[in-house]
Amino acid sequence: MQAETPRSGRKALLIITGVVAGLLFIFVGLAVVPRVLAHYFWPIERWYRSAPVQPIDFPHPSHVQVGGIDCLFCHRTVAKEAMAGIPPVEQCMFCHKIVAKEQPRIQMLASFAERGEPIQWMRVHRLPDHVHFVHEAHITYFTRKDGVLPSQVCSTCHGDVGNMQRVQQVRSLRMGDCVDCHRQNGAPTDCFVCHY
Ligand code: HEC
Ligand code: HEC
Ligand code: HEC
Ligand code: HEC
Ligand code: HEC
C-alpha cells in the first residue's frame, strides 16, 4: 500500500502534464494556424478584416445612390495623384448646412466644423510603408483601355462601395494580386516599381 503512493503520484503528474501540453497544443493551434493560413489565403484573411468603425458613420449609399454624387466629387485627387483623398469637413458642410441638418450624425458633423477639428477617418485599405501605390496610373490606364468614366474603374479594386453602408476591403491587394494584374496588362513587374 505504502509503495503505491509515489507511483500513482507520478502517474497523476504524467496525466496532468499530458493534459496541459494537449491544451497548450490546441490553444496554440487555434491561435496561430488560422493566422498563418490567412497570410496565404485571402478568404480567410477577410474574416479578420472587419470594416472599421468611423468617428461618424458615413453612408456611401446616401451619397452615391440617393444623392447621385460622383466618387470623384469627394475623392478629388484620385485621377491626378497617388492618393485618392477624403474631403475636409468644410466640403461636407457645403451640403450639410442644409441637407439633413436635423439628423444626429449631421449635428455631430456640424460640431466638428464649428470646432474647426478635422475628422480622423479610420483607414480601410492600407499597404505597408515599403509599398508604393499610385491611383492616377491605374485610373488613367483603365479609363482609356475600357472606355469608361474614372468612377467606373474603382470597383475593380474596391468592389461596389456605392452600396456599402460601411466600407470594407473586398479584394486581397497583396503582392501576388498586384503582380498578377500587372502581368495580364503588360504593366511593369520589377521590384522597384512597387518597392522603395
Ligand atoms: C454634394 C452634397 C453632399 C456632400 C458634399 C456631402 N453630403 Fe452627406 N448627404 C448628402 C445627401 C443628399 C444625403 C442623403 C440625405 C437623405 O437621405 O435625406 C446625405 C446624407 C449624409 C448622412 C446621413 C444623414 C442621416 O440621415 O442620418 C451623413 C452622416 C453624411 N451625409 C455625412 C457626410 C459627410 C461626413 C460628408 C463629407 C465627407 C458629406 N456627408 C458630404 C449630400 C452631401
Ligand atoms: C460625399 C463624399 C463621398 C462620395 C461621393 C464618395 N465617397 Fe468614398 N469616402 C468618403 C469618406 C468621408 C470616406 C471615409 C469614411 C469611410 O471610410 O467610410 C470614404 C471612404 C472611401 C473608401 C475607403 C478608403 C480607405 O480608408 O481605404 C473607398 C475605397 C471609397 N471611399 C471609394 C468610393 C467610391 C468608389 C465612390 C463612388 C462610388 C465614393 N467613394 C464616393 C466620401 C465619399
Ligand atoms: C488598382 C487598384 C485600385 C483602383 C482601381 C482604385 N483603388 Fe483606391 N486604393 C487601392 C489601394 C491598394 C489602396 C491603399 C493604398 C495605400 O495604402 O497606400 C487604395 C486606397 C484608397 C483610398 C484611401 C487612401 C487614399 O488614397 O486616399 C481611397 C479613398 C480610395 N482608394 C478611393 C478610390 C476611388 C474613388 C477609386 C476610383 C476612382 C479607386 N480608389 C480606385 C487600390 C485601388
Ligand atoms: C486590376 C489590375 C491592377 C491591379 C490589381 C494593380 N495594378 Fe498596378 N498597374 C496596373 C496597370 C495596367 C499599370 C500600368 C499603367 C500604365 O501603363 O500607365 C499599373 C501601374 C502601377 C504602378 C506604376 C505607376 C507609375 O508610376 O507609372 C505602380 C507603382 C503600381 N501599379 C502598383 C500597384 C500595387 C502596389 C498594386 C497592389 C496593391 C497594384 N498596382 C495593383 C494594373 C493593376
Ligand atoms: C505590382 C507591385 C509589386 C511588385 C512588382 C513587387 N511587389 Fe513585393 N509587395 C507588394 C505588396 C502590395 C506587398 C505588401 C502586401 C504583401 O505582403 O503581400 C509586397 C510585399 C513584399 C515583401 C514583404 C512580404 C511580407 O510578408 O511582409 C517582400 C519581401 C517583397 N514584397 C519583395 C518583392 C520583390 C523581391 C519583388 C521583385 C521580384 C517584388 N516584391 C515586386 C507589391 C509588389
Residue nearest to atom 37 of ligand 4 (CA): 178
Ligand 3 neighbours, Cβ below 6 Å, are: 71, 75, 78, 83-86, 125-127, 133, 135, 138-139, 150-151, 153-154, 156-158, 173
Ligand 5 neighbours, Cβ below 6 Å, are: 127-128, 131, 174-175, 178-179, 182, 189, 191, 193-195
CA dist 134 and 137 (Å) reads 6
Location of C-alpha cell 500500500: 1
Atom of ligand 3 nearest to the CA of 71: 35
Q: Cβ distance 92 to 109 under 8 Å?
A: yes
Q: Cβ distance 168 to 50 under 8 Å?
A: yes
Residue type, 154: C
pTM: 0.92
Give the three cell numbers for residue 77.
485627387
Please report the DSSP string for 79-119 in residue order: TTSSS-----HHHHHHHHTTTTTTSHHHHHHHHHHHHTPPP
Residue nearest to atom 37 of ligand 5 (CA): 191
Q: 102-144, pLDDT tens digit by residue?
A: 999 999 999 999 999 999 999 999 999 999 999 999 999 999 9
The pLDDT > 70 percentage for the chain reads 96
H or E element at residue 40: helix 4-40
pLDDT reading at 6 higher than 80: no
Atom of ligand 5 nearest to the CA of 187: 1
Ligand at shortest distance from the CA of 125:
2
Q: Cβ distance 56 to 108 under 8 Å?
A: yes
Cα dist. 89→56, 70, 76 in Å?
11, 18, 14
What pLDDT score was predicted for residue 147?
97
DSSP state of 122: P
Ranges of each domain in the chain: 4-48, 60-86+121-194
